[in-house]
């Protein structure tokens, strides 16, 4: 009587598993590169849209802060600098305050004044630019946060200097704004004449800027 024996199947490649050939690896790398070229711009666009939404939200809150200030101060716009600008110093007990400090009680968040695209908007960056140590107190930091704000206030229209000799900026009555629907209170801002480009708290209207030969 004949007996049958089952023999295990053997791999065509003895002593290990079969690997990829060089051609197969190159094909995989090429496919990954093509996918990356397709997807990266999409990711960048999504990121840009998210930043746009953040900026729009920030501007709405800043606008609300400006209006709440006006309601509390007899319908007057907030000044660019509250007090005598000639006495504006980066010290404790500073008698003046920038716009960002003036409206901060209504915002309650310094990040609202920061553009998400500003990679240098951080306390450590502000301190480096001002040449101050990293353990600087929060009171002095607030001056820097307000100074390097990414929201540029249109101070020519909203808070002109009324007492130029003394350096006093003064808000104006809302009723003094002749064309409120077309008057820009502020915009995104940037300054590049610092070691690190960042925001600036005041902006020039284009007609004033170019008439003074500024670039």
pLDDT tens digit sequence for 64-86: 999 999 999 999 998 888 776 66
Written in H, E and C, the secondary structure of the chain is CCCCCCCCCCCCCCCCCCCCCHHHHHHHHHHHHHHHHHHHHHHHHHHHHHHHHHHHHHHHHHHHHHHHHHHHCCCECCCCEECEHHHCCCCCCCCCEEHHHHHHHHHCCHHHHCCCCCCCCCHHHHHHHHCCCCCCCHHHHHHHHHHCCCEEECHHHHCCEEECCCCEECCCEHHHCCCCCCCCCEEECCECCCCCCECCCECCCHHHHHHCCCC
Helices 123-130 and 138-147: crossing angle in degrees, nearest 10, is 90
Per-residue pLDDT of the chain (215 residues; tens, 9 = 90+): 445 555 555 555 545 556 778 888 888 888 898 888 888 887 777 777 888 888 889 999 999 999 999 999 999 998 888 776 666 655 555 567 788 888 999 999 888 988 887 877 788 878 887 777 887 777 778 888 888 888 888 888 888 765 544 566 778 888 888 888 888 888 888 766 555 556 677 776 665 544 444 44
Cross-strand pairs, 151: 188
pLDDT at 69: 93
Please state the length of the chain: 215
pLDDT at 65: 93
């Amino acid at each position: 009587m004949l007996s049958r024996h089952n023999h295990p199947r053997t791999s065509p490649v003895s002593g290990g598993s079969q690997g990829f050939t060089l051609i197969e690896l190159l094909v995989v790398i090429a496919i990954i590169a093509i996918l990356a070229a397709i997807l990266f711009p999409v990711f960048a666009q999504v990121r840009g849209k998210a930043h746009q939404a953040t900026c729009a939200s920030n501007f709405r809150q800043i606008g609300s802060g400006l209006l709440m200030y006006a309601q509390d101060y007899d319908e007057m716009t907030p000044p660019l600098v509250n007090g005598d600008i000639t006495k504006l110093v980066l010290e404790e007990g500073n008698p003046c305050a920038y716009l960002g400090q003036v409206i901060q009680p209504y915002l309650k968040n310094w990040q609202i004044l920061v553009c998400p695209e500003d990679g240098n908007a951080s306390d450590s960056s502000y301190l480096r630019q001002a040449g101050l140590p990293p353990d600087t107190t929060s009171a002095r930091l607030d001056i820097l946060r307000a100074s390097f704000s990414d929201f540029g206030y249109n101070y020519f229209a909203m808070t002109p200097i009324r007492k130029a000799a003394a350096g006093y900026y003064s808000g104006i009555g809302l009723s003094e704004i002749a064309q409120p629907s077309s008057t820009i209170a502020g915009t995104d801002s940037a300054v590049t004449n610092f070691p690190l480009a960042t925001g600036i708290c005041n902006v020039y209207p284009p007609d004033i800027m170019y008439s003074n030969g500024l670039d």
